[in-house]
Every structure is written in C-alpha cells, then in structure tokens.
Chain A
Amino acid sequence: MNDALRRYPALRAWLLLAPSFLWLLLFFIIPLGIIVVYSFLQRDVYGGVVWKWSLDNYRRVFDPLYFKTFLYSLWIAFLTAFFSLLFGYPLAYFIATRPEKTRNALVLALMIPFWTNFLVRTYAWLTLLRTNTGLINVWLMQWGLLDKPLPLFGNTFAITLGLVYGWMPDMILPIYAALEQIDHRLLEAAEDLYASGWQVFRRVIWPLSLPGVVAGTMLVFIPSLGAFVTPAILGGGKRLMIGNVITNQFLGAHDWPFGSALSVLMMAVMLLATLVYFRTGGDRAGQGGL
C-alpha cells in the first residue's frame, strides 16, 4: 500500500481529497442537483411536487412582478458593494498603515460585533431606524430638530444600510490583506520619483490593492444579492428582494418548483457576474504579480 502511494502521487492526492469531496457531493452538489431538477417540475395543490417536466416556472420568472424584484435586488447588491467599498477602503487603509500590534487589535475589533447573531444585530438596527418609535427619529424630534420623522425605515436606504453594515468586514479584510502586503519602499520609491500623495495612491497603492478590491466586491455583492433577513426586517415587508420571494415560495406559498427556478436563475446571474468581473477587474488586478 505504502509503495503504491509512493509510486502514484496522484493516488495519494485523491485519497486526501476524498473526505472533502464526499462532503461536497453529499451536502452541496446533490442538493444543488435536486434544486435544478425541481425547477423543471410542477407543484401539486397541496404543496408537493409532481413529476411532470415543464418550463412554466422559468416563464413565470420573467413575469414583470418577479423580474422587477430581481432587478431591484441587483440594484441593492450593487449599492451595498459600492458603499462597502467607499467606506471600507479607507478603513482598510487606515488599519493596514498602523503598527503591527495596533493592526491586529483593530482587525479583532472589526470582528467582535460579528460574534453576535446576525438576526439580533439586524433587530438592533430596527430599534434605531423605525419610523415612529425608532431612537434616531424619537431623539431628533425630542430635541426639536425635526417636525416629521425621517424615512429611515422600510425603504432602500434601510436595506442597504443593514447590508453594508453586515458585509463590510468581507470588503475590508481582503483589501486590508492586499494593502498590508504592499512593500513600504514602493511608496518611498514613488515619492522619490516625484509622485504627489494622490499620484502615489493612484499609480501604486490602488493598482496593487485591486486583487483585494475585486475579492471584497464579490464577497459583498453575492450574499447581498441573495439576502433575505435584512430586507425582511429592515424593509418592513414593503420592499422585497429576490431572497424574500424565494423564501416565500418554499415556506409560504409551498411552490418549491418555482422557488427552485428563481434560485437557479439567481445562481446563474451570480456566476455570470463573477465571470465577467474577474475577466475585467480580475485581469487588471493580476498585474499586481499575485
């Protein structure tokens, strides 16, 4: 046995990979397959599944009612990625430029809030943002700064805020990792070669941090697209994302085939977005020599 392993390194690799492969097969690939199969079936009146092939579910997906929700989800995911990058990049830069000890402490501080359950944290935002009883509006009105409460809740703002809050660490960490690796002497070299502060950023720091930016954007964009907890709570039931519709198909409407079709479509969009993004942004980032 040992000799065989020595002689065929590929066999050894396969043996080592077998457990994770089995795991992925059982709990990822097979369920995914079931969803794909379901999406081509029909529901019966009691919420079960009838084994009759049909493309009806995919036709329904393009019903304006659902398709609009889909576009809205893309818009929210885009906003979330955009604002996470806008606020996350400076923070990542700040952390990456601290002394090593401070750096580690700051990264830890960044993670601490995420040891609390996501649902709890989202409800915490609810108590702050609610239109009439939310703390922000209550205080602002008590201090006489406002006559009418601000529309902080049940809208795009609230959902985006909740998602940016939830996913920003996934933006910060890869950018931080990329920035931290930049050799400080490169910045001195740029300065030595007459680059101003902005030019040093534009020509050296930004291009070298692109791999982190690309990874961070994908890590934020994809889960935001499929989000359902945040819009369910902070959307106040008024603004739905595709994740809510899917949840509803499985739990409320008992239409698993249609829910599956929506899921498959969402995955297809994510896959497409990832491919397109890595083709464009990813290639440029690859110039960082990483």
Chain B
Amino acid sequence: MSDASVPAVELRDVVKRFDDVVAVDHVSLQIAPGEFFALLGPSGSGKTTTLRMIGGFELPTEGEVLIEGEPQGYKPPYQRPVNTVFQNYALFPHMTVAQNIAFGLEMRGVPKDEIRRRVGEMLNLVRLSGYEKRRPHQLSGGEQQRVALARALINQPKVLLLDEPLGALDLKLRKAMQLELKAIQEQVGITFVYVTHDQEEAITMADRIAVMNHGRVLQVGPPPEVYEQPRTLFVADFIGETNFIPVEVLRVGSTVEVLTAGGARLQAGWAEPSLNAGAPAVAAVRPERMWLHRPNTAPEGGPWNRVEGIVRHVIYHGLDIRYEIHLAGECSLHVRLPVGRGDADVFQRGEHVIVVWPSEATRVFRRDS
C-alpha cells in the first residue's frame, strides 16, 4: 500500500464553502508518504479547514480528498486511516493519561493485554512513563501535548493531522517540542500534515510547506525554496523579514530592470510573469542579503544594486546589528550586518551610506498580488 508513487494524501481541486464564504478555494495538493508537510498561513486562510477535510470533520463542497489513493467521499472521521492532534489537545479531562491514550484502541475492541502493552510503548516514545495515573489537569502544557500525540499515534494512522499543536506553549517549550516532534516523526515514519501560522515553525520542521491565504494555496515547496524564491508578494511578506521598495517596471524578459521613486535603477533576478514595462511594482530583498558601504568604498559595476541613504536607527542585537536606512522617496530599508568585523564597519546614526546587494537577490512583484 505505501507505494512511494501513491501520495499519502491528495486533494483534487477541493472547494469548501460555508454559506457564502469560500473558506477553501480550489486547492490541489499531493503529500508524499512519510513527508512532514506544513500548511502555513494567517488565521482565516483556510489551512485548518483544509486539515479538517482530510480528517473528515468537514466535507468538501467540491473536489475530492484521497488518502493513499482511496477517495474518502463522505466517510466520517472514524472510518479514515488518519488521526488528529487537536489544537489545545482536547484531552478527556475525566480520564487518566493511560485511559486517554488507550481510548482509540478500546473503541476498536483491541484486547486489554495488547492495549496495556502498546500504551506502555507509547508512553515510552513520548517520555511519559510513570504518568499513567495522572489526569490531564495535573500535567504541564508540554506534557499534555505529548499525551495528545501518543493518543493519536497509538492507532498507527497512515497520516497524522496536527492542528497548531504547539500554539498554546511558551516560546522556549515550543522550540524544544519542535525538535521532539520532528524526531518522533522520523522515528515512526508516519506522514505528518501540520497546520501552523508560525512561519518559523514551518520552516524549521517541514519537508515541504504550502503557503495559504484567502483559501488558496499560493506556493508549495521545500522551506529554502519558499524562503528564497517567493512567487507572490504575500509569500515574500509572510515568510521571514523582507524589504519592499516601490518601483516602476522598466524592462522585463531575460533581464529585469526597475526604477525606484528616488530615481535609482535596479536589476532584478526575477519578476512576476504578468508584469509589463511601465507597471507599478514592488521590489523585495531580504535584509540579510544587503550590505552597507561608505560612499568612497562602494563597489562600482558588477551584478550589484546600489541605492543611497542615511542611517536613521542602529539597533544592536547581539549576533548582528540592524540598521534602518532612510532612502529618498519616503522609503526605508532594514539591513542586518554581523557584529565583530571591526569598529570601522559600524555605521553611525545620520551617516551617509550606500546600500548594496546582489541583483539576483531582488524579486519584483505586482503591487496588488
């Protein structure tokens, strides 16, 4: 069954409407067996509804959900080979940890001895041995999270659905659980479909990310690709930090050239295909790709973009220093430079500087996208 050529989960042109609201708008996805797949988007982007349609908690208005090549049709959750880790865990408050974890097996009539053995194994896996008799309210957030994971994984689902599983944890615990979840996923080899609004979480954990907004999937790809080659303004903005410079398109085609409001000409590595010369657009550059130079040391020529500006803020961050550079034409850029390259390279507030970055790191988007 787990033939690598058959996707673990496939969505074919799935639409979900609630009354007049389109929550999910013609989404098609293929998730490979064993993959850690993240659905990333802001609240209301349709990511949770998409997950719920895979789980069977919602049925698609149009289109089809397939699990291991099998159309799921109107099957209720308990007939699908998937299990869910719910937001806020949804642990049964009146049951012990062991009873919670055993619930799924008990409902399927698995013999008591086997249940006991497998509950023990699961507690081991999530490092909660000895917690059998505790009740959920006696556990910390991280422990509850692990019980929820064990309660789902004990059923050996083909696909595990996780709905913002770390959302309720504080930052430090969340980081620790990210690593732990990833390790568990690699150990059990089950396909994970992971809903989150936290782009950092998606980038650190997922094999591939689908970025969603307004019910649509805007881009699907491995984290480096989504981060470095965003294909819409929304993706560039939502994932990581980005500088946006309003520009006018001068030339598209094999080389892309744009003009800033301050009158600087910039070369870009990529432009949205629908852009034509003369169109208003936005040039996007990641702050860590930019460098600062004093006017006399700036490189001339080569594959570089250059704009002049004035240092407005200098913020020390430990690993790096962040500069806010004011450009002509009511625009400012954020630049990050590593610390510790000598005092000569620390710029002062009010200093006149040239911002330099590789032209291939420049991506041009439509303003309205």
Partner-B contacts on A (CB < 8 A)? 183, 185-186, 188-196, 199, 203-204, 207-208, 287-289
Contacts of A199 in B (CB 8 A): 107
Please name the residue on chain A nearest to B157 by beta carbon. Answer: A192
Contact of B87 among A185, A192, A287 (CB under 8 A): A185
Bound together, the chains give a CA A196 to CA B84 distance in angstroms of 17
Q: Which residues of A contact B76 (CB under 8 A)?
A: 191
Inside 8 A of A288's CB, which chain B residues have their CB?
A: 93-94
Measured in the bound complex, the distance between the Cα atoms of B128 and A186 in whole Å is 22
Bound CA span A269–B70, Å: 63
Q: Knowing A188-B77, A207-B94, say if A193 contacts B83 (CB, 8 Å).
A: yes
Partner of A185, one of B78, B86, B107: B86
CA–CA, A287 and B133, complex, Å:
13
* Distance in angstroms between the alpha carbons of A287 and B83 in the assembled complex: 26
The one of B78, B84, B93, B155 in contact with A289, judged by C-beta atoms closer than 8 angstroms, is B93
What are 12 A-B pairs at a CB distance below 8 A? A185-B90, A186-B92, A188-B57, A188-B90, A193-B151, A203-B92, A204-B92, A208-B94, A287-B94, A288-B93, A289-B136, A289-B137
Provide the residues of chain A in CB contact with B77, threshold 8 Å.
188, 191-192
Closest chain B CB from A101 CB (angstroms): 16
Find out whether the CB atom of B93 lies under 8 angstroms from the CB atom of A193: no
- Considering only residues 107-164 of chain B, those with a C-beta below 8 Å from chain A are 107-108, 135-137, 151-152, 155
User: Measured between C-beta atoms, what is the minimum distance from A235 to chain B in Å?
Assistant: 41
Nearest CB on B from A209, distance (A): 10
Please give, as numbers and ranges, the residues of chain A lying within 8 Å of B103 by CB-CB distance: 190, 193, 195, 203
Contact A193 B86, beta carbon cutoff 8 Å:
no
B84 and A189 form a contact (CB under 8 A): yes
Q: Is A196's CB under 8 angstroms from B92's CB?
A: no
CB-nearest residue of chain B relative to A182?
B93
Q: How distant is the Cα of A289 from the Cα of B92 in the complex, in angstroms? A: 10
Inter-chain contact A192/B78, CB cutoff 8 Å: yes
CB distance from A75 to the nearest CB of B (A): 32
Complex contact A194–B90 (CB within 8 A): no
B88 interface contact, C-beta 8 A: yes
| B interface residue numbers (CB < 8 A to A) | 55, 57, 76-78, 83-84, 86-88, 90-94, 103-104, 107-108, 135-137, 151-152, 155
Contacts A188-B77, A191-B76, A204-B92 known; 4 new A-B pairs at CB < 8 A: A191-B57, A192-B78, A192-B83, A193-B103
B84 touches A192 (CB 8 A): yes
A199 vs B103: C-alpha distance when bound (angstroms):
11
Q: Which chain B positions have C-beta within 8 A of A190?
A: 92, 103
A289 pairs with B94, CB closer than 8 A: yes
Residues of A within 8 A of B57 (CB): 188, 191-192
Residue of A nearest to B163 (CB): A185
Interchain CA distance A190-B95 in the complex, whole Å: 12
Contacts of B92 in A (CB 8 A): 186, 189-190, 203-204
A196 and B78 form a contact (CB under 8 A): yes
Q: How many CB-defined contacts (below 8 Å) exist between A and B?
A: 65
Bound-state CA distance A194–B104 (Å) is: 6
Top 5 A-B pairs, shortest CB-CB distance: A193-B104, A185-B90, A289-B93, A194-B107, A189-B90
Instruction: Kindly list chain B residues whose C-beta atoms are within 8 Å of the C-beta of A185.
Output: 86-88, 90
Contact partners of B78 in chain A: CB under 8 A: 191-196
Complex CA distance for A198 and B363, rounded to whole angstroms = 57
Q: Flag if A192 contacts B55 (CB, 8 Å).
A: yes
Taking each of A189, A192, A195, A289, which has the highest tally of chain B beta carbons within 10 Å of its own beta carbon? A192
B108–A183 contact, CB under 8 A? no
Kindly state the separation between the CA atoms of A223 and B108 in the bound complex, as whole angstroms. Answer: 44
Inter-chain contact B86/A188, CB cutoff 8 Å: yes
Q: Which of B77, B94, B108 has the most CB of A within 10 A?
A: B94
Name which residue of chain A comes closest to B57, CB basis: A188
Please report the C-alpha to C-alpha distance between residue A185 and residue B152 in the assembled complex, in whole angstroms.
Answer: 14
Q: Which residues of A contact B87 (CB under 8 A)?
A: 185
Which residues of chain B are within 8 angstroms of A183 by Cβ–Cβ distance? 88, 90
Nearest opposing residue in chain B for A195, CB measure: B107
Cβ distance B96 to chain A, nearest Cβ, rounded Å: 9
CA distance A192 to B103 in the complex (A): 10
Closest B residue, CB atoms, query A290: B93
Distance in Å: Cβ of B151 to nearest Cβ of chain A: 7
- Alpha-carbon gap, A223 to B76, bound state (A): 45
Interface centre among A185, A189, A288, by most chain B C-beta atoms within 10 angstroms, is: A189
Distance from B152 Cβ to chain A, minimum over Cβ atoms (Å): 8
Give the distance in Å from the alpha carbon of A3 to the alpha carbon of B77 in the complex: 62
Q: Is the CB of A208 within 8 A of B90?
A: no
Q: Closest residue to B80 on the A side, CB-wise?
A: A192
Cβ contacts under 8 Å, B83 to chain A? 192-193
Report the nearest A residue to B155, measured CB to CB.
A193
Interface centre among B55, B84, B88, B103 (most CB of A within 10 A): B103
* Interchain CA distance A207-B155 in the complex, whole Å: 24
Contacts of B152 in A (CB 8 A): 192
* Cβ contact within 8 Å between B55 and A193: no
Closest to B87 in A: A185
C-alpha gap A204/B107 in the complex (Å): 12
Measured CB to CB, the nearest residue on chain B to A186 is B90
Residue of A nearest to B148 (CB): A189
Cβ–Cβ < 8 Å partners of B90 in chain A: 183, 185-186, 188-189
Q: Which residues of B contact A189 (CB under 8 A)?
A: 84, 86, 90-92
Q: Are A194 and B86 in contact (CB under 8 A)?
A: no
Cα distance A186–B90 in the bound complex, in angstroms: 5
Q: What residue of chain B has the Cβ atom nearest to residue A206's Cβ?
A: B94
A197 to B137, CA, bound (A): 26
B3 to chain A, nearest CB (A): 26
Least Cβ–Cβ distance between B42 and chain A, in angstroms: 21
Chain A residues, Cβ within 8 Å of B155: 193-194
In whole Å, how far is B341's beta carbon from the nearest beta carbon of chain A? 52
